């Protein structure tokens, strides 16, 4: 065993071996994988070996597609078979709602380059004759599904990595990790200490314990999971013989069942409601190649539905039931990337579908370690997406909820109840008393909308407009015509201070920093000129700045800020989280209201649009921004939590004479739509350049050499490939939710534009070939070429909904820039729940297009 290596990968499951392979392939060959026992000694050996490309997050779906395409490559390099069976598979819908869900998934596939197809239950039965098709209303076919040999695949990765120069050390447990003053690591193992620049946690079932070695509680939990194998079935053998094909994979939402052919019989697995965590607090180190005791009673309700839906299986004898543990994060997606607050400590864990996701995880992580950037939009699996609130108990509750809902539909207006309330502001009880329907915003209870007095504050979940539609409209009309108040504690807030604070922010941000008492809006881009942040910044003192941003991105942004912080202590950064809370008042009467509460002049001239002041509001020390996301006249008022109730009470009392109303987050998001304002993680993501994102006026190329300036200048000089545009849609009873395809009938060729997926760093494409330079920025094929006079998918929706004040259904999304800028290119359609609705690009915001109201 070497005593010094560039990187140590802990764990020889499918994920650790994939990370090792990708690091070696990217040129880091001085690397070592350390495994406590034999390879596949965690969950990898007893997996059912199924793989598929579909994922709720299109970016994760693309990495899954990469994983599936990688298997041939590792087979060739290693000489080890993965026993790949690419059978294809179907998802079965038993109700119209589930069919709507499949229509949405199919629509997304149109610009992701997936060849899914909506088919009838009879067509599905022809490929899987054991089902009773009368139980279903429709299905979606995906040709890129199948199964493989889990152990063979893990070994193929490991052999391929070894061929490229990586070392693998078996039967050697990592017992401790200690960091040196220079940021390097001592990896203490049973066989001695290895010094490494980087450490990767691929500990699978023990990932949580490895996190604890460095003082981190990762939000990951193992769950028991069962699948059964039947005796050989004559029906299966007969089907194989008569068609020359294997039976396909089938996913049954209602039964929470997946099933496929295994040898001459059937494998059937369940995600049962009565699920059970395994080792909820500590994972025993002596757990090895063992299985857990099967518990057929727990899966009996799923089996009952399964046998009704697939009567052919019921007759078969059960040969074996496998019960094994594997890990999940809160939302079921992996935890990947550098852990904020630590140097060179990386994670690739909570990978619940190692044989669908392992390759993509390995590729993204190796890009990140070698080139400083994952090369893909990996937010959906970034370890930074959860905050401190994701404690051990929170994780336990949320993972159980996620497991039991694995095959359930999540409606766009559905809030999930487990582990709530976790964090609350001082106004929580007041909001409940006001009949607020609360939602979870990065672990914080936040009012979404207010149900009419006397009615139950509860969403009726739906893909269509629902019971919040009327009340949100009322909240908006009262705000736009009089004044409204809302809680904004869920925004991220930071203070940057110190003698070099301004230089630091100028280096990170694309816009100029404001003068004292003024505010700017500014994107932040990475060195590849892609959007990685969007902030409101106020200069609050000589060497002091307040920053507001997206709540969910707090750790993601802190990681970036810390990476670029000068080492000499000349800049300090503080994240407030819930030690600073806020209220926003908006509407034409908001200034009159504020004036009643303060002892300073807040008239138009004294307190201008985009001004920042510290002032007492209702007697409480506050910071006030003259800005609001509603795009109206309005203010954001920030205070310590101890003052929030006082300020809220003062606002409501003083606002009574103006007819003040409470409004929630959904009203706020609707109001931003009619101003064409983008949102972070929807319109603005690291796959788009700032000019593509139509953020042109916030990019000051001449101000200084900010990170990403060169790439941004190039984007501007060459012209953006895509453009974020806003649409008005002729919708009926359902609005866009995000990720719908945009169609156009065009008479010119605007060039082929693909949905970007990868960017920046040199990386490997979806066929496993290394791509560099401009090709690397394109990503995998998605939107196909535009042909004269034909309706074609030309873009994708990022978000939208009903803009209540202007009474229009609106959407934002990306289309080819040349098409967006061609006024003669008229006709668009946006696909909502499988129906294509006419849509028009809407250049000027329909509410207050001149911006006069907010500036008055
Ligand atoms: C019953 C069942 C069915 C499944 N079916 C499927 C399926 O059909 N498709 C699919 O994609 N996935 C399936 N899975 C999930 C799949 O098994 C996991 O996604 C995958 O195994 C995760 O791999 P991993 O490498 O992250 O973790 P693991 O396989 O748990 O590997 C972690 C490794 O790290 C080692 N290790 C831990 N701590 C240390 C230490 N301190 N020092 C040294 N070594 C250490 C362990 O010994 C272990 O070998 C199934 C799982 C189960 C249980």
With a cut of 90, say whether residue 104 has pLDDT above it: no
Give the pTM: 0.94
Give the pLDDT confidence of 547-598 residue by residue, as tens digits: 999 999 999 999 999 999 999 999 999 999 999 999 999 999 999 999 999 9
pLDDT for res 771: 40
Kindly give, in sequence order, each residue whose CB lies less than 8 Å from that of residue 552, ignoring residues fewer than 6 positions away.
385, 441, 442, 681
Cα dist. 435→432, 449, 452 in Å?
5, 9, 7
For range 803-830, the mean pLDDT: 91
pLDDT for res 764: 37
Provide the pLDDT confidence category of residue 780 given band limits of 50, 70 and 90: very low
Q: Name beta bridge partners: 636.
A: 584, 625
Asked whether 36 lines ligand 1 (CB < 6 A), one says yes
pLDDT for res 315: 86
Provide the pLDDT confidence category of residue 755 given band limits of 50, 70 and 90: low
Provide the pLDDT confidence category of residue 65 given band limits of 50, 70 and 90: confident
With a cut of 80, say whether residue 651 has pLDDT above it: yes
Give the pLDDT confidence of 207-264 residue by residue, as tens digits: 999 999 999 999 999 999 999 999 999 999 999 999 999 999 999 999 899 999 999 9
User: Could you write out the DSSP letters of every residue in 683-703?
Assistant: TB-TTS-TTTTT-GGG--TTT
The overall average pLDDT reported for the chain is: 93
With a cut of 80, say whether residue 489 has pLDDT above it: yes
To test the ligand 1 pocket, which listed residue (50, 150, 173, 203) has its Cβ within 8 A of the most ligand atoms? 203
Asked whether 324 lines ligand 1 (CB < 6 A), one says yes
For range 44-48, the mean pLDDT: 90
* Beta strand spans in 149-252 (E): 167-169, 174-179, 185-189, 192-201, 220-230, 249-252
Indicate the SS3 state at residue 837: strand
Asked whether 386 lines ligand 1 (CB < 6 A), one says no
To test the ligand 1 pocket, which listed residue (35, 43, 82) has its Cβ within 8 A of the most ligand atoms? 43
Cα dist. 120→90, 115, 651, 699, 844 in Å?
10, 16, 57, 51, 43
Provide the pLDDT confidence category of residue 756 given band limits of 50, 70 and 90: low
Give the pLDDT confidence of 419-478 residue by residue, as tens digits: 999 999 999 999 999 999 999 999 999 999 999 999 999 999 999 999 999 999 999 999
pLDDT for res 106: 87
pLDDT for res 751: 61
Place of tokens 């006026």: 697
| Closest by Cα among 4, 410, 45, 437 to 180 | 4
pLDDT for res 763: 39
With a cut of 80, say whether residue 783 has pLDDT above it: no
Q: Tell whether the torsion through CA atoms of 666, 532, 633 and 737 is positive or negative.
A: negative
Cα 38 to ligand 1 centroid, rounded to whole Å:
12
Provide the pLDDT confidence category of residue 23 given band limits of 50, 70 and 90: very high
pLDDT for res 116: 87
Q: Which of 343-357, 546-560, 580-594, 783-797 has the lowest mean pLDDT?
A: 783-797
Provide the pLDDT confidence category of residue 55 given band limits of 50, 70 and 90: confident
Asked whether 145 lines ligand 1 (CB < 6 A), one says no
Provide the pLDDT confidence category of residue 761 given band limits of 50, 70 and 90: very low
With a cut of 90, say whether residue 606 has pLDDT above it: yes
Provide the pLDDT confidence category of residue 747 given band limits of 50, 70 and 90: confident
With a cut of 50, say whether residue 484 has pLDDT above it: yes
To test the ligand 1 pocket, which listed residue (11, 154, 169, 403) has its Cβ within 8 A of the most ligand atoms? 11
| Closest by Cα among 275, 292, 276 to 284 | 292
Provide the pLDDT confidence category of residue 110 given band limits of 50, 70 and 90: confident
Provide the pLDDT confidence category of residue 772 given band limits of 50, 70 and 90: very low
pLDDT for res 754: 54
Q: Which of 348-352, 712-716, 783-787 has the lowest mean pLDDT?
A: 783-787
Provide the pLDDT confidence category of residue 826 given band limits of 50, 70 and 90: low
Eight-class DSSP state of 376: B
Asked whether 447 lines ligand 1 (CB < 6 A), one says no
Q: For ligand 1, what atom is nearest to the CA of residue 37?
A: 47
Place of tokens 């668009």: 828
Cα 151 to ligand 1 centroid, rounded to whole Å:
10
Asked whether 351 lines ligand 1 (CB < 6 A), one says yes
> For the chain, how far is it from start to end, CA to CA, in angstroms?
71
Number of H helices and E strands in the chain, helices first, is 22, 40
With a cut of 80, say whether residue 305 has pLDDT above it: yes
Query: From atom 26 of ligand 1, which residue's Cα is the shortest distance away?
Result: 204
Report the C-alpha gap between 220 and 394 in whole angstroms: 10
Range picked from 626-640, 749-763, 813-827 for highest mean pLDDT: 626-640
pLDDT for res 769: 45
Asked whether 16 lines ligand 1 (CB < 6 A), one says yes
Asked whether 353 lines ligand 1 (CB < 6 A), one says yes
Eight-class DSSP state of 767: T
Cα 336 to ligand 1 centroid, rounded to whole Å:
15
Q: For ligand 1, what atom is nearest to the CA of residue 38?
A: 49
pLDDT for res 782: 34
Asked whether 12 lines ligand 1 (CB < 6 A), one says yes
């Amino acid at each position: 065993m070497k005593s010094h290596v560039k990187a140590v990968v802990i764990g020889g499951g499918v994920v650790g071996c994939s990370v090792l392979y990708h690091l070696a392939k990217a040129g880091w060959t001085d690397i070592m994988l350390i495994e406590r026992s034999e390879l596949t000694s965690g969950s990898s050996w007893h997996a059912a070996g199924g793989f598929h490309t579909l994922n709720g997050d299109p970016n994760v779906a693309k990495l899954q597609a990469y994983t599936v395409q990688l298997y041939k490559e590792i087979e060739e390099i290693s000489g080890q078979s993965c026993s790949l069976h690419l059978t294809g598979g179907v998802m079965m819908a038993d109700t119209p709602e589930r069919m709507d869900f499949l229509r949405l998934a199919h629509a997304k596939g149109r610009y992701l380059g997936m060849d899914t197809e909506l088919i009838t239950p009879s067509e599905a039965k022809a490929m899987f004759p054991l089902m009773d098709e009368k139980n279903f209303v429709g299905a979606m076919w995906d040709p890129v599904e199948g199964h493989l040999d889990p152990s063979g695949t893990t070994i193929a990765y490991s052999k391929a990595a070894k061929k490229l120069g990586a070392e693998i050390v078996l039967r050697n447990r990592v017992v401790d990790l200690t960091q040196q003053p220079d940021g390097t690591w001592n990896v203490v193992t049973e066989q001695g200490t290895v010094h490494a620049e980087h450490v990767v946690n691929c500990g699978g079932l023990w990932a949580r314990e490895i996190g604890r070695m460095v003082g981190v509680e990762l939000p990951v939990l193992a769950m028991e999971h069962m699948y059964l194998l039947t005796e050989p079935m004559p029906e299966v053998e007969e089907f194989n013989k008569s068609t020359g094909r294997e039976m396909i994979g089938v996913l049954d939402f209602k039964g929470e069942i997946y099933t496929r052919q295994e040898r001459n019989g059937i494998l059937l697995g369940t995600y049962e409601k009565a699920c059970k965590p395994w080792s909820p607090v500590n994972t025993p180190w002596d757990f090895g190649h063992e299985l857990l005791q099967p518990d057929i009673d727990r899966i009996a309700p799923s089996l009952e539905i399964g046998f009704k839906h697939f009567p052919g299986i019921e007759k078969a004898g059960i040969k074996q039931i496998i019960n094994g543990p594997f890990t999940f994060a809160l939302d079921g997606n992996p935890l990947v990337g550098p852990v904020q607050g630590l140097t060179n400590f990386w994670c690739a864990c909570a990978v619940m579908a190692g044989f669908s996701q392992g390759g993509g995880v390995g590729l993204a992580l190796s890009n990140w370690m070698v080139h400083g950037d994952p090369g893909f939009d990996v937010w959906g699996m970034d370890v930074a997406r959860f905050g401190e609130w994701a404690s051990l108990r929170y994780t336990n509750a949320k993972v159980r909820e996620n497991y039991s809902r694995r095959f359930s539909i999540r409606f766009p207006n559905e809030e999930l109840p487990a582990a709530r309330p976790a964090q609350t502001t001082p106004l929580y009880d007041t909001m409940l008393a006001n009949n607020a329907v609360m939602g979870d915003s990065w672990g914080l209870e936040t009012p979404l909308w207010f149900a009419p007095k006397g009615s139950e504050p509860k969403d009726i979940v739906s893909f269509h407009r629902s019971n919040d539609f009327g009340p949100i409209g009322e909240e908006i009309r009262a705000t736009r015509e009089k004044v409204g108040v809302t809680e904004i504690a869920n925004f991220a807030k930071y203070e940057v201070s110190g003698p070099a604070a301004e230089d630091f922010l100028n280096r990170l941000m694309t816009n100029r920093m404001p003068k004292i008492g003024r505010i700017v809006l500014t994107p932040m881009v990475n060195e590849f000129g892609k959007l990685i942040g969007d902030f409101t910044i106020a200069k609050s003192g000589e060497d002091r700045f307040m920053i507001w941003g997206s709540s969910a991105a707090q750790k993601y942004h802190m990681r970036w800020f810390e990476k670029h912080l000068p080492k000499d202590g000349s800049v300090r950064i503080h994240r407030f989280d819930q030690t600073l809370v806020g209220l926003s008042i908006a509407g034409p009467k908001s200034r009159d209201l504020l004036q009643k509460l303060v002892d300073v002049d807040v008239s138009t001239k004294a307190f201008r649009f985009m001004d920042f002041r510290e002032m007492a509001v209702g007697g409480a020390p506050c910071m006030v921004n003259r800005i609001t996301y509603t795009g109206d006249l309005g203010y954001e008022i920030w205070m310590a939590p101890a003052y929030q109730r006082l300020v809220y009470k003062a606002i409501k009392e003083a606002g009574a004479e103006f007819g003040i109303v409470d409004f929630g987050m959904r009203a706020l998001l609707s109001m931003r739509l009619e101003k064409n304002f983008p949102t972070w993680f929807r319109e603005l993501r690291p796959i788009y350049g700032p000019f593509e994102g139509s953020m042109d006026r916030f990019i000051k190329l001449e101000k200084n050499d900010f990170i990403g300036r060169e790439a941004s200048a190039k984007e501007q000089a060459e012209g953006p490939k895509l453009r974020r545009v806003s649409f008005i849609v002729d919708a009926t009873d359902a609005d866009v939710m995000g990720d719908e395809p945009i169609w156009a009938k065009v008479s010119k060729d605007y060039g082929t534009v693909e949905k970007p997926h990868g960017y920046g760093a040199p990386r490997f494409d979806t066929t496993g070939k290394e791509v560099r330079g401009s090709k690397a920025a394109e990503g995998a094929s998605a939107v196909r070429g535009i042909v004269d006079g034909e309706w074609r998918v030309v873009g994708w929706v990022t978000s939208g909904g009903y803009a209540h004040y202007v009474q229009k259904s609106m959407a934002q999304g990306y289309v080819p820039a040349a098409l967006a800028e061609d006024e003669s290119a008229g006709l668009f359609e946006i696909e909502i729940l499988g129906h294509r609705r006419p849509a028009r690009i809407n250049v000027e915001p329909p509410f207050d297009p001149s911006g006069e109201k907010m500036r008055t």
